[in-house]
Amino acid sequence: MSALPTGWRSSVLGDVTKVRKEKSDPRQLPNLPFIGLEEVEAHTGRIISTQNTSALKSAVSLFAEGDVLYGRLRPYLNKVAIPDFAGAASAEFIVFPRSKILEPRYLQWVLMSSDFLSFTALKSTGDRPRVSYESISSYEFPVPPIGEQRRIVAKIHSLFTKSRRSRDHLGHIPRLVEKYKQAILSAAFGGALTREWRETHGETSAWRSIATDEIIRDIVAGKNLRCEERPPADHERGVLKVSAVTWGTFDPKATKTLPATFIPPKHTRVQAGDFLLSRANTLELVGAVVIVQKTPSNLFLSDKILRLEMAEECKPWMLWFLRSPDGRAAIEKSATGNQLSMRNLSQTALREIEVPWPSAKEREVILRCIETAFTWIDRLAAEAISARKLVDHLDQSILAKAFRGELVPQDPSDEPASILLERIRAERAAAQGAVRRGPPSWRASPHHRIARCSPDGR
């Protein structure tokens, strides 16, 4: 570790922290608030909600107000909370009681730093990788004087409040992007997008409505077979899952492996340029469409993925219409089924869907407008994602600067961390001596032990 500012001291986690090891049967604590891993927001440590221990069966960890809860199970190693109440938490939390050497918020930022996350990645073990206090107790980090820790925590809070606000604003962009895209498609297939173009170019051809049956030359489907739930190897044949066409672009990895004994018909092989539609899915996803750009040569249609064969110039128009609000409404109206979890769009119903059909020239202009607008919107969305990553990087840069002593000025009147560390060691040695002389005479329930716990966890 590089040279530290005056009054700072390098220490390992095990020398400056202890853990609260109190566990209890939740049935003995029916009215305590409970925090599970899912109730803590990653990266911020915000407690989203609490449950009640009365609904639990497995053992829980007890914590006091101001304790630091560290999620030790992957992928929750970035979940670190400080509750302002006493209660019970998942046994997958390591509970650090308050201490005289570390401000809880300072310890929280240490445990949420990228350096500590990299350290724990090497220490996690097991089928469900997790860390133990013993495995992370050797982590070395800088300990400033307690007064400077408080100033650091206040400064980090101020800066992170601003970055969190930026992150929240950026988080709204994906929803706004999708809303804007739907607005463009609605205007495109309602005629509003090219109203000015029609006036400028003297376009007088009236729009008409035609059934998809007039556009589609043929519909091809695959077979329903029992397959291995894995993508095929290069020498094997695979069949598409519905998720291969669900999310806007063709996913050649969303596949299953066909039985080696089954030889699928050649005309069901998936090829670049294919127009694919999912005939079965949830109400929101049934009828999802893609145009295949690139695909391996060993993939075939399933019974739930249809290939719609039509003239090449019709494919973009059909793609965008079936993704538009009007197209989605027509699909959902035509889909049948009693369960919301699975709806089916029959070939007959598909062929009856009405499609707006302006002149060939106007269709060309509309498609060009859609593609131009979507390119611009997608670029905006990509920039928002990059900005979000920069904000996350900025947070880590702030923490790195804080741990170098560069975030707030040092105060010569602060008691050096080394003196406080020596005092803590002496108090620990005295406490161990008291333990050897015998336990205290009082006894209490686990709930009362939380209430009587001292600020440093002793």
What's the pLDDT tens digit per position in 81-120?
999 999 999 999 999 999 889 999 999 999 999 999 999 9
Q: Are 13 and 102 in contact (CB under 8 A)?
A: no
49-66 pLDDT per residue, tens: 998 877 777 888 999 999
Residue type, 439: P
pLDDT the model gives residue 452: 41
Residue 448: pLDDT band (50, 70, 90) is very low
Is residue 446 reached through a cis peptide bond, with omega within 30 degrees of 0 on the bond before it?
Answer: no
Residue 124: pLDDT band (50, 70, 90) is confident
Position 400 pLDDT exceeds 70: yes
What is the DSSP code string of 403-450?
Answer: HTT-SS---TTSPPHHHHHHHHHHHHHHHHHHHHH---S----HHHHH
Please state, in angstroms and rounded to a whole number, the distance separating the CA atoms of residues 291 and 368. Answer: 17
Q: Which two tokens stand for residue 435?
A: 């333990």
Q: Are 88 and 57 in contact (CB under 8 A)?
A: no
pLDDT the model gives residue 342: 87
Is pTM, for the whole model, over 0.75? no
% residues pLDDT > 90 (the chain): 76
Beta strand extents in 109-266 (DSSP E only):
140-143, 208-211, 218-221, 238-240, 255-257
Q: Which two tokens stand for residue 282?
A: 């949830």
Position 458 pLDDT exceeds 90: no
pLDDT the model gives residue 438: 55
Please state, in angstroms and rounded to a whole number, the distance separating the CA atoms of residues 110 and 244. Answer: 42
Residue 457: pLDDT band (50, 70, 90) is very low
Residue 44: pLDDT band (50, 70, 90) is confident
pLDDT the model gives residue 128: 82
Mean pLDDT, rounded, of the chain? 90
220-243 pLDDT per residue, tens: 999 999 999 999 999 999 999 999
% residues pLDDT > 70 (the chain): 93
pLDDT the model gives residue 440: 47
Position 26 pLDDT exceeds 90: no
318: Cα separation from own chain's centroid: 32
pLDDT the model gives residue 99: 87
pLDDT the model gives residue 451: 43
Position 453 pLDDT exceeds 50: no
For the CA atoms of 326, 327, 329, 333, the dihedral, rounded to the nearest 10 degrees, stands at 140
pLDDT the model gives residue 166: 92
Can you tell me whether residue 140 is helix, strand or coil? strand
pLDDT the model gives residue 425: 81
